Amino acid sequence: MSASYDPQNIFAKILRGEAGCVRVDEDEVSLAFMDIMPRAEGHVLVIPKTAARNLFDISAPELARLMPAVQRIARAVKSGMAAEGVVLQQFNESAGGQVVFHLHFHVLPRWSGVALRPPGGPIVQAAELEVHAAKIRAALAAQ
């Protein structure tokens, strides 16, 4: 039996405004914000507003409504961060590397010869994340 959705997870709290984030973009179905422990400068998370634990329990129509936001953010991360490429990562359940149990897509800008930082920290302060968020927001505005 699959595990259920826990409405006390940190991303649910961000969606409800009970926890802060450095917001990049929002639409009817999605929220994009800076990862607090970025594995690259400009590391963004895109989450659905619907309560989904991960890829296994979101409905296909809701997933289909989310993916244009993932594409939009990937394009903006690439151009706003002057990246050469972008990696998407999406983990499912603990054994699959998932730590926060609200579906999310990692959008990671990549440059040749620049390795990803290891997962799990350090935490980057909001003021520093904001510098990158501003560049990505500007790229979104130019799309």
| Residues lying near ligand AMP in the complex (CB under 6 A) | 10, 19, 21, 35-37, 45, 91, 97-100, 104
State the catalytic residue, choosing from 43, 104, 106, 132.
104
**What is the nearest approach in angstroms of ligand AMP to the Cβ of residue 87?**
13
Would you say 83 or 108 has its CB closer to ligand AMP? 108
- Number of neighbours of residue 119 by Cβ within 10 angstroms: 13
* Annotation says 43 is catalytic: no
HEC secondary structure over the chain = CCCCCCCCCHHHHHHCCCCCCCEEEECCCEEEEECCCCCCCCCEEEEECCCCCCCCCCCHHHHHHHHHHHHHHHHHHHHHCCCCEEEEECCCCHHHCCCCCCCCEEEEEECCCCCCCCCCCCCCCHHHHHHHHHHHHHHHHCC
Would you say 32 or 140 has its CB closer to ligand AMP? 32
Would you say 19 or 114 has its CB closer to ligand AMP? 19
d(CA 105, CA 129): 18
**What is the nearest approach in angstroms of ligand AMP to the Cβ of residue 2?**
16
Would you say 36 or 142 has its CB closer to ligand AMP? 36
**What is the nearest approach in angstroms of ligand AMP to the Cβ of residue 113?**
22
**What is the nearest approach in angstroms of ligand AMP to the Cβ of residue 33?**
6
Catalytic site residues? 104
